[in-house]
Chains A and B, each alone.
Chain A
């Protein structure tokens, strides 16, 4: 190992490895530093890796990567207090290119890190980066618990815990409303049992997102994803609302698992692992400075996540790729200044990642300010459907009028109009 590298990447998550891969391909001498025992050992994903951004880098990677199931079914479950309703989309034809796969990061990240190594990157484990080294304002390398390492440029992709960025003044410490805590369990079940329960064929997977009653008072949601021979069950909520409601995440997990819309999928399954991780939910306003002298920030560290779709890992891949490409250009021109590295910020800003984040800015804040909508709307839908399907001697016209009454009893019409307007503006 040489003492001086062109570039250092902190972390072997999808952002760091994508950056390292692009750099190594372009002949940049890059070192990747991971604090865990192996790539992925500290990482947790909700479930689905949308493949577009990584497939653009490594076409056809999904044929050889250790992926769990090809997600062909996406559902939303609206949970009431004593009922639930579901809306599902299912793809039945075979698609040339799949959309997303469930993954387990302890397998996937190892595979992906090997790709960067094969391309020429050096990857070291069990080394914790404690701070960025600076000379005259410029980042010139990293301090680790095994010594200092110098480089022209450092890519910080340390995950949602942005301690390096905070120390370097690239971001102020996120507030509790800018971070969500997610907990998850891996519940093992035989593959054919999973296929029967979810109505899937071999290799096919399902993703269910849950909203409603169990998350009353919380900017929160739940999920169920199918892996090859396990099911991932979990939930997440912003820390600020969890603190306000004094909710203990593991208690909420147990009550979520007992819900009638969740329990049948996991009954008789064996819990193999319990996990917790933060999800950056600071949105556009919570992002750090993406490029400064000698340093770039990518992935969760850059607060890239989409609360609407649940994307995170694929955004990390794109940001890592763009950071890697920028470093390759910087090396060619011999310029690692903030001004030059700003290419990264500009290309990322014109991508769908930042365009969505800019559009959605303030969405979660609006939900927290109008926290009733978390349980009231799902309850309204369930009550309306219950009314519609119940045969009780009322005419259909009377049913419609009753349903109008139900909806209005859950939320005032003026507020409904404002909700629709706000959500429309933030999403369209």
Chain B
């Protein structure tokens, strides 16, 4: 089963504003780019020397926050974000 299909099953209450941001200069020079591997919802992608953040897919595990010092991650606004039905 592809990740896209799994993510499609999830219920999110989407806020307009992203709760994730990155330091783009540091990202451009980052060799590891752990965010691309570690994120279980594939929120991060890298194209044209730029990081794209699909914050609306975030499941709020916080792994990227621990894995990378250049990611600034806060909880989304109260009442928004992931809402598990079978948590």
Interface residues, chain A, with chain B CB atoms under 8 Å away:
35-38, 40-45, 104-106, 109, 125-128, 130, 144-146, 160-161, 163, 173-176, 178-179, 181, 183, 185-186, 230, 239, 242-243, 246-250, 254, 271-278
Contact = CB atoms under 8 A, between A and B. Distances in A.
Given A42-B84, A185-B6, A276 B78 contact: no
A186 B40 contact: no
A126 B41 contact: no
A43 B67 contact: no
Given A35-B81, A250-B40, A278-B62, 16 more contacts: A35-B78, A41-B83, A42-B60, A43-B84, A45-B87, A126-B78, A145-B78, A163-B74, A175-B66, A178-B66, A230-B86, A239-B67, A242-B37, A246-B37, A271-B1, A271-B6
A104 to B, nearest CB: 5
Contacts of B86: 104, 106, 186, 230, 272-273, 275
Given A185-B6, A278-B63, A40 B40 contact: no
Interface stretch (B7-15, B22-30, B45-53): B7-15
Contacts of A277: 61
Contacts of B76: 128
Contacts of A163: 74-75
B83 A37 contact: yes
Nearest to B3: A250
Contacts of B66: 173-176, 178-179, 239, 278
Contacts of A254: 1
B79 A37 contact: yes
4 closest A-B pairs by CB: A126-B79, A276-B40, A274-B6, A128-B78
Contacts of B79: 35-37, 125-127
23 contacts: A36-B83, A37-B83, A42-B83, A42-B87, A43-B87, A45-B87, A125-B79, A126-B78, A130-B74, A161-B62, A173-B66, A176-B66, A176-B67, A179-B63, A181-B40, A243-B38, A247-B37, A249-B38, A274-B10, A276-B41, A276-B59, A277-B61, A278-B66
Contacts of B81: 35-36, 42
Nearest to B41: A276
B62 A183 contact: no
Given A146-B78, A243-B38, A248-B37, A181 B84 contact: no
A276 B84 contact: no
B77 interface: yes
A254 B5 CA distance: 13
Interface residues of B, number: 35
Nearest to B60: A42
Contacts of B18: none
A69 B31 CA distance: 46
A288 to B, nearest CB: 15
A55 B87 CA distance: 22
A250 B83 contact: no
B67 to A, nearest CB: 5
Given A40-B84, A146-B78, A278-B66, A273 B38 contact: no
Contacts of A38: 83
B32 A243 contact: yes
Given A106-B86, A174-B66, A274 B61 contact: no
B34 interface: yes
Nearest to A104: B86
A249 B40 contact: yes
Contact of A127 (B32, B74, B78, B87): B78
Contact of A243 (B3, B67, B82): B67
Interface centre among B40, B81, B86 (most CB of A within 10 A): B86
Contacts of A179: 63, 66
Contacts of A278: 61-63, 66
Contact of B61 (A36, A176, A242, A276): A276
A106 B74 contact: no
A43 B82 CA distance: 10
A303 to B, nearest CB: 13
A128 B63 contact: no
A37 B13 contact: yes
A82 B85 CA distance: 36
Contacts of A109: 87
A65 to B, nearest CB: 16
A239 B62 CA distance: 11
Nearest to A144: B78
B84 A106 contact: yes
Contacts of B84: 40-44, 105-106, 273, 275
A53 to B, nearest CB: 20
Contacts of A128: 75-78
A157 B13 CA distance: 23
A163 B63 CA distance: 13
